[in-house]
Amino acid sequence: MSLGLESSKPLMASAASAASAASAASASTSKSLVLVTFDVDGTLLTGNHLHHAAFNHAFKTVFNVDALIAEVPHQGMTDSAIIQKVLLQRGFSDDQIKLKMNDAFNEMSKYYTSNLKKDDPEPHLLPGVKNVLERLSQMSISLALVTGNVQSIGWQKVDKLGIKEYFSFGGFGDEHDDRAQLINIAIDKAKTAGFCVTYEDEPSKQVKNVFHVGDTPADVIAARDSGVKSIAVCTGKFPAEDLQQYSPYAIVENMTNDQHILKILGLL
C-alpha cells in the first residue's frame, strides 16, 4: 500500500499568486472560528482519466519519454511527487527532473484545459458533498482546498462540478511536494486573511480548530504531521479498516450525513 509519503522539497510559488489568494479569502476567513481543508480526488469528486492523460502528455512533451502515471502507486501523492517517482524509476536524476518540473506543470495544465469538455461524464461529485459545503458556507466556516493537483487543474475540477464558489484559496501540488506542507500553506493563507488558530491545552501541540478531510492514509498522516485533526472518508480506494490503522480523529463512510460531520467539527 502506498502512503504517498513525499519528500519535503519546496516548489516555486508565485508571491503575487499567494497574495491574491489571501486577499480573496479575507472576507469570510477573518470571521470564521473553524477552518476545514478538503482533499479533492476521492474526497470531493471521482474520475481522473483526463488528469492521468495530462501526466502522460507531460512526460512525453517535456521529458521525451513514453511514461505512464500507472507505472507507480500514486494514491495520496502530490502531482510533483508522482512526476518525480515515475521519472526516477525511468532513470532520470533529481536535477534533471527539478529543472523541468514547472514546464511539466504548465504542459499538464494546458492539456487539461484544452481537453476538458462540458459534457464529459468525469469527474463527478461524490454523494453529500454539495450539501456539506453549503451548510458549512451558511455557517461562515472557512473552507480551503488541499490537494496534490496543480492549481489550475484542481480549480478546473471543482469549477466544472459547481463547487468552486465555496473555496477561494488552498494548498496545491505545484506549491510543495509534501502534503503536510500543503495544509500548512492553506493555514498560512487563512491566517494572513485574519483566521486565528487555536490550540488544545498545553502540552498538546494539537490545533483545535483546523480539520483536514481526505480519503487516503497520506491525508491522515499529513494532518497529523501538520498538527491538525483529520477526518477520513471512505469514498476513495481505502476502506475504513485501512484508514483506521493511521488513527484519524474521525472516520465517515461518506458525506451524506451532514449532521454527523457538523458534530465532528464541533459545530452542533
* Assigned CATH class of 15-47+122-264: alpha beta
Q: Between 83 and 22, whose confidence is greater? A: 83
- Residue pair 144/39 in contact (Cβ under 8 Å)? The answer is no
At residue 25, the pLDDT reads 53
pLDDT tens track for 29-73? 556 789 999 999 999 999 889 999 999 999 999 999 999 999 998
C-alpha to C-alpha distance for 171 and 217, rounded to whole angstroms: 18
Query: Residue 165 pLDDT more than 70?
Result: yes
Mean pLDDT, rounded, of the chain: 89
Q: Where are the domains of the chain?
A: 15-47+122-264, 49-115
At residue 75, the pLDDT reads 87
C-alpha to C-alpha distance for 103 and 109, rounded to whole angstroms: 10
Helix (H) or strand (E) holding 86: helix 79-89
| Torsion angles phi and psi, residue 231, rounded to 5 | -115, 110
At residue 69, the pLDDT reads 93
Task: Decide yes or no: CATH 1.20.1250 for domain 49-115.
Answer: no
Q: Provide the β-strand partners of residue 144.
A: 37
At residue 12, the pLDDT reads 43
Query: Residue 17 pLDDT more than 70?
Result: no
71-75, 135-139, 167-171 — which is least confidently predicted?
71-75
| Torsion angles phi and psi, residue 97, rounded to 5 | -70, -50
- Residue pair 191/171 in contact (Cβ under 8 Å)? The answer is no
Eight-state DSSP code of residue 15:
H
- The string of DSSP letters for 200-226 reads PSTT---BSSEEEEESSHHHHHHHHHH
Query: Residue 203 pLDDT more than 70?
Result: no
Share above pLDDT 70 across residues of the chain, in percent, rounded to a whole number: 87
At residue 47, the pLDDT reads 86
pLDDT tens track for 85-131? 999 999 999 999 999 999 999 999 999 999 998 777 778 999 999 99
Q: State the average pLDDT over residues 199-215.
A: 83
Q: Between 126 and 28, whose confidence is greater? A: 126
Helix (H) or strand (E) holding 251: strand 250-252
